[in-house]
Amino acid sequence: MLTTFPDISRLKPAGGKRSGKREQIVNVFLRQEGHLSADDLVDLIRGEDQRISRATVYRTLQWMVDAGIARKVDFGEGRFRFEHSYRQPRHFHLICKTCSRSFEFLSSDIEGLVEEVAAARSFTVSQSVVQIYGTCDECRTGRTTSSQDGQTDLLFARDALRIAIATERSGAEFYTRAAKITRDARGRKVFQDLAHEEQEHLGRLEERYHELLERDPKLESRPTFLFFKGAAHGLFAEGAERLMKGVNDQQALMIGIRCERGSHRFFKKYGERFEDSEGKQIFLEFADEERTHLDLLVREYRALVKRQGRTRRGPSASPRAGAR
């Protein structure tokens, strides 16, 4: 896979100067996966250029942290490790105290709790670090599990697509059900068109998902990275269930509006929060699509209310007939 590195001449903290050695160190760092100690990076650099000193590597690591290229993490080993932050979403870690391996994940519930606590204390968050210590499955059972290694960006994109696919599938089911119960011909046509569009989008997302798997044959079996409460089964699943309880045409449109508004806010909120990555683009693209559907349903709801109002009043009735 082609990896795009940042133009480090633009990622320069105040007072920083351009340096050929620094660029070499940054490029070596970005070619690695996982979490490197300063000594790990020194060994890698020495393998390419013996003239670069340990002190230069240490200074460059701190420069990368200040420039937003690297994050400093503490796994309780008595030394810091460093991971990519360029094109990688902020995430948390599970850390095995037996084998010292770390496993990455991102949770909207944890993010939300951090925001809630910070807001309650009028606290401005600049960085949040969550590290959960315990024992991994391999160390606890002695059973070898599938590899935990892999590029976070690909895991992020995979899980973003899974959430988008689940949402599109639940959306297609919702609009298909809505079309069957809607009596108003125009409203029924809107639901039918949206169901068809959801199916087309679903096909494209599934094709995109398979293309992603071709970039890493083991990607499908790697552990979940993104945890989003309520999104695993699709953001329209609850709305589809609500339709089964019996609703009129206006109520069906209102349920659709609530689902589309919630989906748009969900994908936009987290898409804007993530750092530049393929997963971020998937979320933002989906947010734009949901906004288009939301606007369509709002227009149709208003038109339906207007049509029904005219029907109740009759063709010759004044718009303000009966008003007091």
Q: Position 87: which residue type?
A: R
Written as six digits, the tokens of 185 are 């011909």
Write out the chain's pLDDT in tens, 324 residues: 334 445 554 555 444 555 688 888 888 888 877 788 888 898 998 888 888 888 998 899 889 888 878 888 777 677 788 877 755 556 788 888 888 787 878 787 787 788 889 889 999 876 677 888 899 888 988 887 655 555 677 888 898 899 999 999 999 999 999 999 999 999 999 999 999 999 999 999 999 999 999 988 888 888 888 887 767 677 898 999 999 988 999 999 999 999 999 999 989 988 887 767 788 889 999 999 999 999 999 999 999 999 887 766 554 444 343 333
- Residue 127 vs residues 24, 64, 92, 314: alpha-carbon distances, Å: 28, 16, 12, 62
Helices (H), the chain: 20-30, 38-46, 54-67, 108-120, 137-141, 152-181, 185-215, 237-243, 249-273, 278-313
Hey, where are the domains in the chain?
A: 17-86, 152-311
Q: What's the pLDDT at 289?
A: 94
Q: What's the pLDDT at 194?
A: 96
In this structure, what are the phi and psi dihedrals at residue 73, rounded to the nearest 5 degrees? -125, 150
Q: What's the pLDDT at 5?
A: 47
Topology adopted by domain 17-86: Arc Repressor Mutant, subunit A (1.10.10)
Q: How many helices (H) and strands (E) does the chain have?
A: 10, 7
Q: What's the pLDDT at 151?
A: 65
Q: What's the pLDDT at 149?
A: 52
Does the fold of domain 152-311 match that of domain 17-86?
no
Tokens 């809630």, located at residue? 116
The alpha carbon dihedral of 47, 65, 282, 224 has a sign of positive
- Alpha-carbon torsion, ordered 114, 115, 119, 120, to 10 deg: -40
Q: Which of 14, 15, 10 is CA-nearest to residue 26? A: 10
- H/E stretch holding 85 reads none
Whether residue 298 contacts residue 257, with contact meaning beta carbons closer than 8 Å, is answered with yes
CA–CA separation, 280 vs 270, rounded Å? Answer: 8
Q: What's the pLDDT at 236?
A: 92
Written as six digits, the tokens of 69 are 């290229």
Q: What's the pLDDT at 150?
A: 53
152-311 is classed CATH 1.20.1260.10? yes
